[in-house]
Chains A and B, each alone.
Chain A
Amino acid sequence: MAEVLVYVDHVDGAVRKPTLELLTLARRIGEPVAVALGAGAEATAAVLAEHGAVKVLTADAPEFSDYLVVPKVDALQAAYDAVSPAAVLLPSSAENKEIGARLAVRIGSGIITDATDLEAGDEGPVATQAAFAASFSTKSRVSKGTPVITVKPNSAPVEAAPAAGTVEALAVTFGALATGTKVTSRTPRESTGRPELTEAAIVVSGGRGVNGAENFHIIEALADSLGAAVGASRAAVDAGWYPHSNQVGQTGKSVSPQLYIASGISGAIQHRAGMQTSKTIVAINKDAEAPIFDLVDYGVVGDLFAVVPQLTDEIKARKG
């Protein structure tokens, strides 16, 4: 059976959920061979094996953290040369897309980004993508070279599928470009304790209707009652009420959670572009004419300052 390279997203050995989802999709195409780089790479092997990795290629070197992107491309290319895979898959993130893109150039292949589904086809893997603010769904293939495909979080279930998960050290030779962009300092983002926005199963977002940074605690309280991530519309971010890192939309992050709750968000096309692939959509808005109501499975026309706290209390009561 053909081997499929799966690039592993992990933090000091803790594998992030989108990688496990990716292993589910990789098994539809072939046998997953995982590539884990950086500090803690070997510690990823156990969980990757539980989810279907037949082999885990690991490498660590200071270059991975001291320089931007290219050292990881060099390593992924070394893995590609060692395995000759049928496809290379990466969880979609800003950095992973850059890694995949550079690899694709080097191996003379096409790249597909932000796939929401993947299946085996006669001419190689077929990727489903959302286009034009998710008003269209497309099916695409890489027609030249070995397909490089990045897949959005929440595109597949995490499934246990025990495999060997043999750990092998990957020999990496860094090229001249690897040290081109130096990372001179790194400040970790302060953890809110909430799930990462792009990979959360539930996202609770606030917009213009939240009417001030001081009111966002209402949105956060609802999010915490559901174990959700907090998002914000561009209007709320531009007004300085919430950090840009939480912005959902065309110029922010694209999310596709199981449940999306929009509060005080009208649903302009730019916002819809970032959330329209959510499985279940709920909105609370004073304006019955707000375009967001065209998308919802359940909508409440009302004042979010009354509805959201009541919802939060009710959820807490039901959860006991």
Chain B
Amino acid sequence: MSLRIVVCVKYVPDATGDRQFTEDLTVNRDDVDGLLSELDEYAVEQALQIADEADDAEITVLTVGPEDAKDALRKALSMGADKAIHVEDDDLHGSDVMATSLVLAKAIEKAGYDLVITGMASTDGTMGVLPAILAERLGVPQVTLLSEVKVEDGVVTGRRDGDTASEQLQASLPALVSVTDQSGEARYPSFKGIMAAKKKPVESWDLEELEIESDEVGLEGSWTAVDSATQRPARTAGTIVKDEGEGGKSLAEFLAGQKFI
């Protein structure tokens, strides 16, 4: 029996670039290079490992985003995913996590799945709530924040390392899994993988195909609104001293002056 895995990935502005907001207070995607969110690479990696262990598995990577977001899909395909779905629609611009998750959930259902895998958070919004929201929308168990994951005989097991305890989790498929950066180093695409990715199918879907009304998504349709975004003023230059034997003492003096000691 074939195991159908859908991996949700996000195309994000490079964190090392000069990230800015545009006039409508959405993320400016034009001036900074985009890439597959690093935390999603771990999701792709775990999908590949799970597929390797399964008798017969197919990995579909899915993203919601502008034209450029295809680059994130290509990266995942070159790592070894089988096919890709790109949901693109002008009306999606400015969608928040609730709106985006609505689109993802509809697309996952349309694609068909036994297992959905995501990263633990995006590296731009960093909310970390999308996996739980998707599980709620899909009505399947959430097996989230895993540092180890295994799928066997229709059951997913994994380890979740929380603040106060480490938990072993278990759920039956269909299920949603999110993995952390501790789940295992993501592989680099090989030259062969990159060449093969060019021939792999990338489907494009729009809102109409997913039967989503445009007023349910986008800036206007979102569930949250950003009223202002202000660049933090550069910190006023602090005091910097060179240690010539008394560096620790001068630092203690500073801390005492600030009432930390």
Using a CB–CB distance below 8 Å, which chain A residues touch chain B? 11, 68-70, 73, 93-95, 97-102, 104-106, 109-114, 126, 131-145, 177, 180-189, 196, 198, 202, 226, 244-245, 250-251, 254, 258-259, 269-270, 273, 280-282, 284, 288, 293-303, 306-315, 318-319
Residue on B nearest A268 in the bound complex, by CB: B16
Cross-chain contact B162 with A95 (CB below 8 angstroms): yes
Given contacts A111-B223, A143-B222, A294-B235, contact A244 B161 (CB under 8 A): yes
A140-B225, A181-B142, A307-B251 are contacts. A293–B240 as well, Cβ < 8 Å? yes
* A183 B251 Cβ-Cβ under 8 A: no
- Range of interface residues on B (Cβ < 8 Å): 35 or more
Nearest CB on B from A278, distance (A): 11
- In the complex, the answer to whether B143 meets A136 with C-beta atoms within 8 Å is no
Q: How far is the CB of A83 from chain B (nearest CB, A)?
A: 21
- B-side contacts of A101, CB under 8 Å: 97, 129-130, 132-133, 136
Please state if A182 and B171 are interface contacts (CB–CB under 8 Å): yes
Is there an interface contact between B227 and A259, defined as CB atoms closer than 8 Å? no
Option from B182, B232, B255 in Cβ contact (under 8 Å) with A135: B232
Residues of A within 8 A of B229 (CB): 131, 136-138
Judge whether A269 and B15 touch: CB under 8 Å.
Answer: yes
**A94 CB to nearest chain B CB (Å):** 6
| Docked-complex contact A106 and B136, CB < 8 angstroms | yes
CB pair B247–A102 under 8 Å, yes or no, is no
For B230, the chain A residues whose CB sits under 8 A away are: 136-138
Most buried by A among B96, B175, B248: B248
Residues of chain B touching chain A, judged by Cβ–Cβ distance below 8 Å, are 15-16, 19-21, 25, 38-39, 96-98, 101, 123-124, 126-133, 135-137, 139-145, 147, 157, 160-171, 175, 180-182, 222-232, 234-235, 238-243, 245-252, 254-256, 258, 260-261
Complex: chain A residue closest to B145, CB-CB: A94
Contacting residues, chain A, for B175 (C-beta < 8 A): 180-181
What is the bound-complex CA distance between A144 and B98, given in angstroms? 10
Question: B248 to A142, Cβ gap below 8 A?
Answer: no
Chain A, interface SS category: mixed
Q: A182 touching B224 by the CB < 8 A rule? A: no
Closest chain B residue to A301, Cβ basis: B242
- Chain A residues closer than 8 Å to B180, beta-carbon distance: 251
> Which residues of A are found within 8 Å of B238, using beta-carbon distances?
281, 293, 295-299
Q: Are B260 and A314 in contact (CB under 8 A)?
A: no
CA–CA, A97 to B142, complex, Å?
13
Do residues B127 and A97 form an inter-chain contact, with CB atoms below 8 A?
yes
Are A196 and B126 touching (Cβ within 8 A)?
no
Q: Are B171 and A142 in touch, CB under 8 angstroms?
A: no
Q: Determine the chain B residues whose CB is within 8 A of the CB of A137 once the complex forms.
A: 229-230, 232
Smallest Cβ-Cβ distance to A312: which chain B residue:
B248
The reply to whether A282 and B240 contact each other, CB–CB distance below 8 Å, is no
On whether the beta carbons of B260 and A202 are closer than 8 Å, the reply is yes
Question: A136 near B248 (CB under 8 angstroms)?
Answer: no
Once bound together, how far apart are the Cα atoms of A95 and B165, in whole Å?
A: 12
Contact of A311 among B147, B170, B252 (CB under 8 A): B252
Contact residues in A for B167 (Cβ distance below 8 Å): 68, 183, 185-187
Which residues of B have CB within 8 Å of A258?
260
Assuming the contacts A98-B129, A182-B170, asked whether A134 and B232 have C-beta atoms less than 8 A apart, the reply is: yes
